[in-house]
Structure 1
């Protein structure tokens, strides 16, 4: 089963305001976790990335044949994605077990969402 694992954005990640020392430590811990995922065959090398804050992004709105470009930042921070992985697991229980082992991806409360890939 393939899943996409989504690290949800927080106010800190959207403001890009995480102190450098704290960010360095978080990246070190996340790198070690990623190495475990690769060794276990859950993740292929390079199947994880962080995203810039939504202020650097764009959305394209669709309404029939009309297209509207919307510049970031986007509201509802908790609905935004700050990073992602693609994993191959035997089932959703295994994906949940791996996410529970993940270091907290943000300095405060945060969430990680797991979505099966259709197909």
Structure 2
């Protein structure tokens, strides 16, 4: 089972917020956590995200998409980073999520990543076949 751990934090906590612990402590704790995930063989991907001022939002409210540059002042909290893990059970995902070194004011949302089997009976067979082909192509690219 694959899970995504999505870390959300107030934009004001971006790396050097006024109440944030020293950056070295944050990076060391995250480094240890990431190393533990790799050593356990469960980490698929992990990345931190830059502040929303560097980003943009695409909406489609009419005939064509609209691009709006950040920062996103209306948001109270933003996605700050994520991990993708592959584990044997929901319980194991809970254990890894509990170990994540997030601090006060930070939220970790954990969501199971849908597998093709989850879409059977929901999506048309030709769509499932096309998705399976795309997933094979991505897997082949990663092996190069």
Please classify the TM superposition score into its range, dividing by the shorter chain length.
Answer: 0.7 to 0.9
**Match of residue 82 from structure 1:** 80
**Match of residue 17 from structure 1:** 16
Query: What's the TM-score, normalizing by structure 1?
Result: 0.83
Report the secondary structure of 1:69's partner residue. Answer: strand
Shift of 1:21: 7.2
Q: Is the 8 A contact 1:30 1:103 kept in 2?
A: yes
- Structure 1 stretch 29-38 or stretch 64-73: which is displaced more? 64-73
- Greater RCO, 1 or 2 (C-alpha within 8 Å, sep 6+): 1
Query: What's the TM-score, normalizing by structure 2?
Result: 0.70
Q: How many residues align?
A: 113
Unpaired stretches in structure 2, ≥5 consecutive residues:
116-144
Q: Is the 8 A contact 2:11 2:51 kept in 1?
A: no
Alignment root-mean-square deviation, CA? 2.0
**Match of residue 55 from structure 1:** 53
Unpaired stretches in structure 1, ≥5 consecutive residues:
none
Runs of 4+ more than 6 Å apart: none
Larger radius of gyration: 2
Q: Is the 8 A contact 1:13 1:53 kept in 2?
A: no
Higher helix share: 2
Distance (Å, rounded) in 2 between the aligned partners of 1:11 and 1:59: 16
Matches within 5 A, 1:1-119: 1-14=1-14, 16-18=15-17, 22-44=22-44, 47-74=45-72, 75-78=74-77, 80-104=78-102, 106=103, 108-119=104-115
Shift of 1:51: 0.3
